[in-house]
Amino acid sequence: MSFHQMTKIIGLNVADQEGFDAFRAARAVVGLLIASLGLYLGVTQGAPSIWAAIQYIAATPEKLQAVEYSAIAGAATGLGGMALLVMKKIDDKGLGLFIAIAGGMMAAAAVMSLFIPAIQTEGALMVALVATAAGYGVMTILDQTLPHEHPVAGAGLAGKERMRMALLMTIAIALHNVPEGFAVGASAGNLNGSSSTAFSIGLQNIPEGLIVATALWSIGVHKALAALAALATGLVEPIGAGLGVITADSWAMGTPASMAFAAGAMAFVVCNEMIPESMKMTGKIKTVYVAGVSTVFTALALGWMGA
């Protein structure tokens, strides 16, 4: 229904419509001024703070290495996107198994590399438990409030709907990568834990990248561009790692709290996103067994690495 038709229904005349047009124009001007002010403050106030944070992280080899680990783990989404270049057909059942494997890897990393070291820190048990619950809760709120979509964009959807679903899925994957990077940064004080966390996250980022690339390809995006988009979703992880490093250093219990928070966030992604989606694609039994085996083998690998 057009704006003109709506005004007729509610009894507005032409003069009223002109008033609404003037109001909308004024609102656009005010919005532009607010956006300009925000951009000015971001450049003058935000840029120096960001630069100071970069210098702070770069001054400590352990912190810088944790951010580098997160960048490598994030780049693994590009590997998943590149897999699309050599695959002629993506089967939903096979993709669901990839998701189950990734979920098992993430579950093992959350428990062994983040939660257990956090609660074992002297005097940090209650802080770690509260932080874990907070991480799960924050991700729940984000999941409920931010627009995103989880299922793979299938061929049966209309063009516009497929575009919307694929783009929202890309946003969802990028959003999930922030706490993953945060997890690596939060464990910067323990390079063994940081490297093992980054390793497990990098492994599960490969099927995530394949999901993004497949979704974009399904709506007509060229395979190469779809692979680049998948890579881009992982490049937010160093940002999350930087936040994790700074948070861990900001107070005495910062490291265990940050690690536990990231563990809770990752637990939400596994329990509420990855496992349910895998079940829908491949079935409950296969998902449970594959995710279970993946968890056990990843836990053994992390234990061997000293996580």
The dihedrals phi and psi of 107, each to the nearest 5 degrees, come to -60, -45
Residue 23: its H or E element: helix 14-41
Q: Are the CB atoms for 232 and 176 separated by under 8 Å?
A: no
Which residues, at least 6 apart from 284, have a Cβ–Cβ distance to it below 8 Å?
none
* pTM score, whole prediction: 0.61
Name the nearest CA neighbour of 106 among 187, 170, 179, 172: 179
pLDDT digits (tens, 9 = 90+) for 131-177: 999 989 988 887 777 655 454 444 444 556 656 656 666 666 676 67
Structure confidence at residue 3 as a pLDDT band (50, 70, 90): very low
* Cα–Cα distances in angstroms (integers) from residue 286 to residues 93, 101, 266, 290, 301, in the given order: 10, 11, 22, 6, 22
Q: Give me the pLDDT at residue 188, please.
A: 67
For tokens 């490291």, name the residue.
Answer: 255
pLDDT digits (tens, 9 = 90+) for 10-55: 444 545 555 556 666 777 677 677 777 766 666 666 677 777 777 7
Listed in order, strand segments (DSSP E) in 96-157 are: none
Q: Per-residue DSSP letters for 251-296?
A: STTHHHHHHHHHHHHHHHIIIIIIHHHHHHHH-HHHHHHHHHHHHH
How far apart CA 72 and CA 14 sit, in angstroms, is 60
129 pLDDT higher than 80: yes
Amino acid in position 2: S
Name the nearest CA neighbour of 218 among 78, 98, 95: 95
pLDDT digits (tens, 9 = 90+) for 74-108: 888 888 888 888 876 666 677 778 778 878 877 88
For tokens 């971001």, name the residue.
Answer: 42
How far apart CA 173 and CA 183 sit, in angstroms, is 16
227 pLDDT higher than 80: yes
